[in-house]
Chain A
């Protein structure tokens, strides 16, 4: 199976089959990331489109100094914030619940986790998503967010404290 760098090199040559495979690998991940920032399904789907089209058009500019995932999440973040700015100029779409209800039981605990996540600021929530779900290091997250590593650590520290208070 081709790794992300091989796929991206083929996407840079506008190979549609490689683009499809890269999309399959990243669409849901980018969608979930956008959802943690925007909390709106329709807008998150727009971010998926904007991100993947930007990847199609800009794959040749990938320098290889980071993981492909770090680069794509950086593109996604830029697209999400560009969309937020456009939305701010128009009518703001209402926030939606972040996480679907847990159908498999432990409903009360899952509801508390969902509620705790929603209480975080968007900046804290995206750090928690990238660290806990995507498994990115604080160095990689600092690169995606364009902030110092200390800022990422600080956001995580306060996010964890806030989550622990709600879930204790």
Chain B
């Protein structure tokens, strides 16, 4: 392995994702090359600093989940519920992504367990 090849692999080794065979070859090169060892030390510091920078990125707002779930569920057209809060069955029809799926759910103590989904009415 020459220095150019080593320097291509150094960032991946610093990030901890280099596969075994390349990791071994790079270690052998680093053992005999002080310049690439300096490069590796610099890469390790860079990884640490950039991880810190990425960790300071903001988070998405809470309402993004609400909008995501609403889109996943689609627009309800109607549903038929039988049983009670403790044990029940719900069959619903909705519009989602240009389709009109018929879904069935079992409700146990308020928790919904999906039973089936039949896709219908392509756009």
What is the interface of chain A, defined by CB distance below 8 A to chain B? 13-17, 19-20, 23, 27-28, 31-32, 35-36, 41, 44-45, 48-49, 52-53, 56-57, 98-102, 109-110, 113-114, 117, 128-129, 131-133, 135-139, 153-154, 156-157, 160, 163-164, 167
Residues of A with C-beta under 8 A to B58? 31, 35, 41, 100
What is the interface of chain B, defined by CB distance below 8 A to chain A? 7-12, 15-19, 42-43, 46-47, 49-61, 64-65, 67-69, 71-72, 96-97, 103, 111-114, 117
Main secondary structure of the interface of B (DSSP, over half): helix
The answer to whether B12 touches A138, judged by C-beta atoms less than 8 angstroms apart, is yes
A selection of 8 A-B contacts at a CB cut-off of 8 Å is: A15-B113, A31-B58, A110-B53, A113-B50, A131-B11, A132-B47, A133-B50, A133-B51
Residues of A with C-beta under 8 A to B8? 153-154, 156-157
The answer to whether B57 touches A35, judged by C-beta atoms less than 8 angstroms apart, is yes
Known: A135-B15, A138-B12. A23 touches B65 (CB 8 A): yes
Q: How far is the CB of A99 from chain B (nearest CB, A)?
A: 5
The answer to whether B17 touches A28, judged by C-beta atoms less than 8 angstroms apart, is no
Residues of A with C-beta under 8 A to B67? 49
Q: 13 more A-B contacts (CB under 8 A) besides A110-B52, A136-B17?
A: A27-B64, A28-B60, A48-B68, A99-B54, A113-B50, A132-B15, A132-B51, A135-B17, A153-B12, A157-B7, A160-B10, A160-B11, A163-B46
Q: Please measure, in the bound complex, the distance between the C-alpha atom of A17 and the C-alpha atom of B108, giving whole angstroms.
A: 13
Known: A117-B53, A156-B12, A167-B49. A45 touches B61 (CB 8 A): yes
Q: How far is the CB of B59 from chain A (nearest CB, A)?
A: 5
Q: How far is the CB of A120 from chain B (nearest CB, A)?
A: 10
Q: Please measure, in the bound complex, the distance between the C-alpha atom of A167 and the C-alpha atom of B69, giving whole angstroms.
A: 42
Known: A56-B72, A133-B50. A157 touches B11 (CB 8 A): yes
Residues of A with C-beta under 8 A to B103? 14
Main secondary structure of the interface of A (DSSP, over half): helix
